[in-house]
Amino acid sequence: MTQAHSLPRVTYTSTEDFSPLQDYLDGRLPQFRQDMLGRHWPSIVAGEARDQGDVVLCHSPVDETVLLGSYAAADGATVADAIQAARKGFAVWGRMDWRERLKHMRRLADVLDRHRHDLAMAIVLEVGKSRMEALGEAEEALALIHYYADEFERNNGYVSPAWRSADGSEQAQTQLRPMGVFAVVTPFNYPVALAANMLGAALVAGNSVIFKPTPNAALTAGMLARVFEQAELPQGVFNLVYGQEAGPLLMDSDGIDGVAFTGSNATGMGMLRKFASERYMRPVLAEMGGKNYAYVTASADFDIAVNGVTRSAFGFQGQRCTACSVAMVHESLYDRFVDALARQAAKILPGDTADRAVTHGPLINRAALDRYLAAAEHGRRAGRVVCGGERLQGGLFDKGAFVKPTLIADLAADDRLYRDELFAPVLVVSRFKTLEEAIARGNQVDYGLTAGLYSKDEAEIQQFLDHVQTGVMYVNRLTGATNGAWPGIQSFSGWKGSGITGKGALGPHYLPQFMREQSRTIRVIR
């Protein structure tokens, strides 16, 4: 029998044959369903289960008749107790020698490693990701914990000598110190990796955390809580509160020292405005979506560009903040490129993502379906729907929000579909004469997360790198025009409406944002 620890590891850009890993999942999935589905997940406060609050049932978006489980929506008392527990936990964790703290975090990574395949299966069932994307997400979560621990060590705990007097009696140093209690608020689309990213960075930096997952991801959140329990962090360092109202309750408390958030621009900016209006500013570290353009020039490798744009636009049903949602194509390639995209889109047939052969699942819920259908209808009125624009029906498709990948062309240059984030498999295509013109149109968008270019011309590549206003840039990427970042390789920074600080996750400038600087000057008197 194949041992899980010996199986190959997956990234978002993997193209190898993973048959042994798929075989393992085929054998493991029935037992996983039996063991993990239908459970009730309580909030966790200082290591203790808290079950006060209304019970909410959770169903799979792949098959809405499948009960994933339930959770207790935390009431005000539970949230208040979680804050108090986190403050007590910080009193221990924040004062711990950073070397000891990293031992705890690396032990946490070891536990996460043992559970990565089960977490991937939970992602498949809970949010409708394909197996390979879910496996990549679980591996990324593990890589993030290791990366931040390694970064903290590489920077010597962020303690830097600054000055020493000539006689050696007085010296100064700067030191980054943890802030206290961070609320970590996560979305549905990367329920494990984004949780690990924000929780991991906050904890490595010495803060305690209160984890508030999206209501769409109670299963993965409960499983992550078990990982933290098995890692045996000090009591109160990690806490979990479920429910829609837990977020506002956390934001209203002065017991929170900062918030790490991934979600909509409206929510993230609302948090920032609220915190900025109080006695003093508390950090809001937010990644807030994108409207990601890909530029295809006349010199592009045509097949690579078609493949990269298709994968980026329609992978995970477009439910990624990095999804390519606008393709700007040089007029000499435009008609042929649109036809090629339509042929590629026609090959995509969503289904049950627990099946190893299925690469695309449903939208997360009916609200996402309504947004998709509204965009398609707008495309019919304002331009031309080349393909898609419809809900799939019959059999399994009637049990979830399954839709066709959609390609829209011939919209006016000022159409809202060039600006609005849809979080659905909708790609808008437009022609351009000059790259300068295309970049200018892309830069008018309020978001600035990722962008991609397909070109063989060095001058065009440099023009793209110098002038496009996004934090993440890809050139000639086969596996995705605008997505596929990995810890320690591509920093993930949102500009403009995509982020608040201009310093992103997955890279060397993320961790310091969970700390504040202190200058220490000491004169020794003997």
For the chain, state the CA radius of gyration: 24
* Two tokens, residue 164: 């020493």
The candidate with the shortest Cα–Cα distance to 149, out of 112, 187, 184, is 112
Cβ-Cβ contacts under 8 Å for 446 (sequence gap 6 or more): 265, 291, 419, 496, 497
Helix, strand and coil percent figures for the chain, each rounded to 5: 40, 20, 35
**Residue 113 near residue 138 (C-beta atoms within 8 A):** no
Catalytic pick among 287, 324, 387, 460 = 287
Helix (H) or strand (E) holding 31, with range, is helix 19-36
- The C-alpha angle with vertex 508 and arms to 98 and 213, in degrees rounded to 5, equals 75
Active site residue 324: no
Cβ-Cβ contacts under 8 Å for 228 (sequence gap 6 or more): 108, 238
**Residue 73 near residue 53 (C-beta atoms within 8 A):** yes
Active site residue 321: yes
Q: State how far the alpha carbon of 269 is from the alpha carbons of 224, 259, 497, 498, in Å.
A: 28, 12, 9, 10
In the block, tokens 């947004």 appear at 371
Q: State how far the alpha carbon of 69 is from the alpha carbons of 25, 192, 237, 499, in Å.
A: 21, 17, 26, 33
**Residue 411 near residue 383 (C-beta atoms within 8 A):** yes
The candidate with the shortest Cα–Cα distance to 385, out of 362, 363, 402, 410, is 410
Please name the residue ranges forming H helices in 232-365: 246-251, 265-276, 302-314, 334-346
Give the Cα separation of 129 and 152 in Å (integer): 32
Output the CA torsion 215→218→221→222 (10° steps): 150
Question: What angle do the packed helices 116-127 and 19-36 form, to 10 degrees?
Answer: 70
Give the Cα separation of 29 and 224 in Å (integer): 18
* C-alpha of 42 from chain center: 24
Cβ-Cβ contacts under 8 Å for 167 (sequence gap 6 or more): none
Catalytic pick among 126, 133, 151, 321 = 321
Residues forming the active site: 287, 321
